[in-house]
């Protein structure tokens, strides 16, 4: 599934939410310098935020289509590899970041590779945007998924809520501990909001979870049902987001 998003790279780049500036600033301030490695760079959403903060960014992605889109349309330097097998070639960076992608990486092998790439005192930061719609709308969404695609990952997401992301954070922290070479991981949280129209929400929805693998007829039925639920609330809504980050500093071995 990690390699399925490149089929709609332009939509992904256009519709996916960004990350809080406070998160970017805190990661940059925590490291010894401004060289950043973006794991699962995708179209460069995270990378561009770090570039805007004055960083030099190198990306790694398993999906050649995403990598090519980021190179061609965003001018980013991207290497194609599974991060666990990526060759550092002796290069070192001040921060390894991963936005909405660390769950595709083996948590122990990935942390070990990050430790190999980081300078002493450098930062490993894995983070996720957790969407929290109004409760009545969340239930309406869940009802649509239960009717159309009850066994999908997306359907389970609406019943698990933020608990699923808490599990991802725990796995990431445990992986950093098991890999060694890091101080005790910290967990950060940033709360923010974004307003969506019906069309904006439906635009980004196919870029999440396993939607890209739905049969076209079922995807169309699902989008119609979700759109009707948003229409019933006046055609738009405000999404509350919590950006959850697991962050650890590379042990000073110099």
**pLDDT tens, position by position, 34-56:** 999 999 999 999 999 999 999 99
The whole-number pLDDT of residue 214 equals: 87
Q: What's the CA gap between 249 and 113, in Å, rounded?
A: 14
- The beta strand positions in 81-177, using DSSP E, are 93-99, 118-132
pLDDT band (50, 70, 90) for residue 6: low
- Of 74-83, 160-169, 180-189, which range is least confident? 160-169
Q: Please count the other Cβ atoms lying within 10 Å of the Cβ belonging to residue 71.
A: 14
- The Cα–Cα gap between 178 and 112 comes to 9
| C-alpha distance from residue 60 to each of 88, 98, 201 (Å) | 11, 10, 28
- Per the model's pLDDT, the better-predicted residue between 252 and 18 turns out to be 18
Whether residue 212 is contained in a domain is answered as no
10 within some domain: yes
Q: Is 201 within a domain?
A: no
More confident residue, 224 or 161: 224
- Residue 65: strand, helix, or coil: helix
In a domain, 227, yes or no: no
Domain assignment present for residue 190? The answer is: yes
The verdict on residue 11 lying in a domain is yes
Q: Which residues of 143-178 are buried (b: 16+ CB within 10 A; e: fewer)?
A: ebbeebbeebebbebbeeeeeebeebbebbbebbee
Reported confidence tier of residue 160, pLDDT bands at 50, 70, 90: low
Residue 162 CB partners (closer than 8 Å, separation 6+): 130, 132, 242
Q: Structurally, how many domains does the chain consist of?
A: 1
Q: Is the pLDDT of residue 252 over 80?
A: no
What single-letter DSSP state applies at residue 251? Answer: P
Is position 233 within any domain? no
What global pTM score does this model have?
0.93
Q: In the structure, what pLDDT confidence band is assigned to residue 8 with cuts at 50, 70 and 90?
A: confident
Looking at residue 21, which CATH number applies to its domain? 3.40.50.150
Interval 52-75 mean pLDDT: 97
**Domain containing residue 49:** 5-132+160-194+239-249
- What's residue 78's pLDDT? 98
Picking from 1-5, 6-10, 203-207, which range would have the lowest pLDDT averaged per residue?
1-5
Cα distance between residue 102 and residue 169, in whole Å: 9
Average pLDDT, the chain: 93
- Asked if residue 175 is part of any domain, the answer here is yes
Determine the pLDDT at residue 2. Answer: 46
């Amino acid at each position: 599934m990690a390699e399925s998003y490149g089929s709609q790279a332009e939509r992904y780049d256009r519709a996916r939410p960004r990350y809080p500036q406070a998160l970017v600033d805190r990661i940059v301030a925590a490291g010894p310098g401004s060289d950043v490695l973006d794991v699962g760079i995708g179209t460069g959403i995270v990378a561009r935020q770090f570039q805007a903060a004055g960083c030099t960014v190198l990306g790694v992605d398993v999906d050649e289509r995403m990598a090519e889109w980021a190179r061609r349309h965003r001018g980013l330097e991207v290497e194609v590899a599974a991060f666990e097998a990526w060759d550092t070639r002796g290069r070192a960076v001040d921060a390894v970041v991963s936005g909405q992608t660390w769950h595709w990486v083996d948590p122990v092998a990935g942390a070990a590779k990050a430790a190999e790439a980081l300078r002493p005192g450098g930062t490993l930061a894995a983070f996720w945007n957790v969407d929290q719609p109004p409760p009545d709308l969340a239930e309406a969404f869940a009802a649509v998924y239960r009717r159309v695609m009850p066994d999908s990952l997306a359907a389970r997401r609406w019943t698990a809520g933020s608990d699923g992301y808490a599990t991802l954070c725990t796995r990431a922290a445990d992986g950093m501990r098991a890999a060694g070479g890091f101080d005790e991981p910290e967990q950060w949280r940033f709360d923010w909001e974004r307003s969506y129209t019906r069309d904006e929400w439906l635009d980004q929805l196919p870029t999440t979870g396993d939607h890209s693998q739905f049969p076209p007829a079922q995807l169309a039925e699902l989008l119609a049902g979700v759109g009707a639920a948003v229409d019933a609330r006046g055609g738009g809504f405000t999404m509350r987001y919590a950006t959850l980050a697991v962050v650890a500093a590379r042990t000073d071995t110099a």
